[in-house]
Amino acid sequence: MCGIVGYIGHREAYPIILKGLQRLEYRGYDSAGVALYHDGKINVSKTKGKVDDLRKKVESSGNMEGHLGLGHTRWATHGVPNDTNSHPHYSNSGDLVIIHNGIIENYESIKKALIARGYVFHTDTDTEVLVNLIEEVRDKEEVKLGKAVQIALNQVVGAYAIAVFDKNKPDEIVVAKLGSPLAIGIGENEYFVASDASPFIEYTNNAVYLEDEEMAIIRLGKEIKLRKIKDDAIAYPNILELQLNLEEIEKGGYEHFMLKEIYEQPRAILDTYRGRLLADKGLVKMAGIDQNLEKFLNANRIIIVACGTSWHAGLVAEYIFEDLARIPVEVEYASEFRYRNPVITENDVLIAISQSGETADTLAAIKLAKEKGAFVFGVCNVVGSSIARETHAGAYTHAGPEIGVASTKAFTTQITVLTLLALKLASEKGIFSASQFHEILAELENIPGKVEEALKSNNLVAHIADIYKDSTNCLYLGRGYNFPVALEGALKLKEISYIHAEGYPAAEMKHGPIALIDEQMPVVVIATKKGHYEKVVSNIQEINS
């Protein structure tokens, strides 16, 4: 996830873009940049760090003038967060500038082809590939920018919200969307472009939200032209009158960031397996594993280290790895592991899981395992974080920034990555037949839709919360995969509601904790159809009686 802002009109663009980026910083905060058109030149400033670091850089350069500009706040997906990889990116000729939120999955093959045709790349990003592809189309086909963007986008696979301009046509911005949000604010002879309406809400209430596979040509003094990217059909802008205030917009209309992040799960899971889960080909593709397959396949065991919610994801992974890939797994609290002189050998693989990639105990556990010669693999959300740098290899979750302190979408995306990893190893070991494998992959593709369905139970959840809000204790029970889920549920209740809660394997209830059960004790049981359902129902009967 990243934040994008653009402006074209009669005002100075820089103050609008800067304020817009500050408001969009929740969408990405590892680097930021701005491109301003002034006097026939494009001045680009970009930096690793926060929007405020960008402000200092731009203000010390003195390049703040211009009535046309693009800005970006980044959450890295391709290439570490540094000044060079920050957006905006420009084409080889320096004519075109682009900002992009999303992932171009087939950028490597396009990049190779462009290099063969003489293009040079200065960054590790997929976005620089896209802007050069647009330039190549523009020059080869001798078409206008809008057409070039359309032709180029028909060659890419992935997700995007982009804004591009050409310094030879400084009265125009071209935008397009697939999978990432893009809003256009319509003012009096001025236009705004942004990931949400927060950067322009004080200038105009009139906005158009692009639909997937739509693009728009925004030209000063003209009405917006909307087109379908695939078939060039004309689309008609649905201009909305926004009623939201600024705070509501930043949180996407949700009361809290945590709630927003819970609702982001279908998108976050999809982004995490995008380009990796190729169900139609019966393949799982993950660069970090493909290059280190032997390490995993020859491992004596896998040791998973993590803290908090990430540790719970590790427990789920233990079941998945053993079940699908038949590799023995141990799961350790990083804080215990690092202090207890563990037995680690060169034939062990250590997987470190961390949303932030900065948790000190997890980092220390990694260093210890490396000293003892183990191969260390990271599963992190923050690109370029300490854990991502310290591990030998890894796979990112693409959950986007998690602002809520209590982890939510990080958990489900960690499980997504770990499931893909287990499946990859299972397929290498030939554990499943091609058709079984295919069936599992196809089923996995349905997960975002199922999460979406589950989220529809919100009203029921609110009703139940109302009944139990004054409880002082609560038990969460589950068996198999659902035992770690019970632990995670209990952790969330403790941290967010200040209600004491415990997670337990459902069958362990009878060995002591059942003594605590009375009319005052709510018990949440996770009883999915495939999670030893009949046995869990017997546990429920015990509790009832």
The answer to whether residues 520 and 499 touch, using CB atoms and an 8 Å cutoff, is no
What are the structure tokens assigned to 544, written together? 């009832």
Cβ count within 10 A of residue 295: 18
Residue nearest to ligand BG6 (CB): 308
- Which residues partner with 45 through β-bridges? 34
H and E: helices and strands count for the chain: 20, 25
Which residue from 143, 224, 403, 406 is in contact with ligand BG6, where contact means CB under 6 A? 406
Number of residues that bind ligand BG6 (CB under 6 A): 12
Stretches 247-255, 278-286, 304-312, 524-532: which one binds ligand BG6 (CB under 6 A)? Answer: 304-312
Q: Using the rule CB under 6 A, is 503 a contact of ligand BG6?
A: no
Stretches 142-150, 151-159, 351-359, 465-473: which one binds ligand BG6 (CB under 6 A)? Answer: 351-359
Q: Smaller CB distance to ligand BG6: residue 359 or 419?
A: 359
**Nearest approach, Cβ of 355 to ligand BG6 (angstroms)?**
4
**Nearest approach, Cβ of 96 to ligand BG6 (angstroms)?**
37
Give whole-number Cα distances, 79 to 76, 270, 374, in Å.
Answer: 7, 20, 26
Which residue from 47, 77, 386, 407 is in contact with ligand BG6, where contact means CB under 6 A? 407
Q: Smaller CB distance to ligand BG6: residue 43 or 414?
A: 414
Stretches 90-98, 142-150, 208-216, 402-410: which one binds ligand BG6 (CB under 6 A)? Answer: 402-410
Q: Smaller CB distance to ligand BG6: residue 404 or 513?
A: 404
Q: Smaller CB distance to ligand BG6: residue 131 or 269?
A: 269
**Nearest approach, Cβ of 362 to ligand BG6 (angstroms)?**
5
At which residue do the structure tokens 């731009």 appear?
Answer: 58
Q: How far apart are CA 114 and CA 104, in angstroms?
A: 15
Give whole-number Cα distances, 417 to 26, 79, 276, 336, 360, in Å.
Answer: 23, 19, 9, 24, 22
Q: Which of 71, 100, 284 is nearest to 175 (CA)?
A: 100
**Nearest approach, Cβ of 407 to ligand BG6 (angstroms)?**
4
Q: Smaller CB distance to ligand BG6: residue 136 or 488?
A: 488
The residues near 130 (Cβ < 8 Å, ≥ 6 apart) are: 98, 100, 104, 107, 110, 152, 156, 160, 162
What are the structure tokens assigned to 198, written together? 């927060």
What are the structure tokens assigned to 330, written together? 């141990």
The answer to whether residues 195 and 162 touch, using CB atoms and an 8 Å cutoff, is no
Site mask, ligand BG6, residues 52-71, x = CB under 6 A? --------------------
DSSP of 192-227: EEESSSTTTTTT-SEEEEPPTTEEEEEETTS--EEE
Strand, helix or coil for residue 59: helix
Q: How far apart are CA 525 and CA 168, in angstroms?
A: 63
Positive or negative: CA dihedral 530, 534, 535, 536:
positive
**Nearest approach, Cβ of 382 to ligand BG6 (angstroms)?**
8
Q: Smaller CB distance to ligand BG6: residue 283 or 406?
A: 406
**Nearest approach, Cβ of 479 to ligand BG6 (angstroms)?**
23
Strand, helix or coil for residue 465: helix
**Nearest approach, Cβ of 412 to ligand BG6 (angstroms)?**
13
Q: Smaller CB distance to ligand BG6: residue 140 or 367?
A: 367
Q: Using the rule CB under 6 A, is 362 a contact of ligand BG6?
A: yes
Q: Smaller CB distance to ligand BG6: residue 452 or 495?
A: 495
**Nearest approach, Cβ of 361 to ligand BG6 (angstroms)?**
8
Which residue from 63, 310, 391, 482 is in contact with ligand BG6, where contact means CB under 6 A? 310
Q: How far apart are CA 326 and CA 292, in angstroms?
A: 18
Stretches 16-24, 157-165, 306-314, 317-325: which one binds ligand BG6 (CB under 6 A)? Answer: 306-314
Q: Using the rule CB under 6 A, is 413 a contact of ligand BG6?
A: no
**Nearest approach, Cβ of 308 to ligand BG6 (angstroms)?**
3
Stretches 184-192, 248-256, 287-295, 355-363: which one binds ligand BG6 (CB under 6 A)? Answer: 355-363
Classify the phi-psi angles of 422: left when phi > 0, otherwise alpha if psi is within -120 to 50, otherwise beta.
Answer: alpha
Q: Using the rule CB under 6 A, is 354 a contact of ligand BG6?
A: yes
Stretches 75-83, 305-313, 425-433, 528-536: which one binds ligand BG6 (CB under 6 A)? Answer: 305-313
Stretches 30-38, 181-189, 349-357, 468-476: which one binds ligand BG6 (CB under 6 A)? Answer: 349-357
What are the structure tokens assigned to 89, written together? 């990116």
Q: How far apart are CA 226 and CA 218, in angstroms?
A: 9
Q: Smaller CB distance to ligand BG6: residue 116 or 405?
A: 405
Which residue from 359, 412, 416, 427 is in contact with ligand BG6, where contact means CB under 6 A? 359
Cβ count within 10 A of residue 243: 7
Q: Using the rule CB under 6 A, is 356 a contact of ligand BG6?
A: yes
Spell out a b/e string for 480-513, using b for 16 or more CB atoms within 10 Å of the CB, else e: bbbbbbbbbbbbbbeeeeebebbbbbbbebeeee
At which residue do the structure tokens 């065991």 appear?
Answer: 301
Which residue from 86, 150, 355, 539 is in contact with ligand BG6, where contact means CB under 6 A? 355
Q: Using the rule CB under 6 A, is 308 a contact of ligand BG6?
A: yes
Q: Smaller CB distance to ligand BG6: residue 327 or 334?
A: 334
Give whole-number Cα distances, 347 to 299, 352, 425, 535, in Å.
Answer: 5, 16, 16, 38
Q: Using the rule CB under 6 A, is 412 a contact of ligand BG6?
A: no
**Nearest approach, Cβ of 403 to ligand BG6 (angstroms)?**
12
Strand, helix or coil for residue 70: strand
* Footprint of ligand BG6 (CB under 6 A): 307-310, 354-356, 359, 362, 405-407
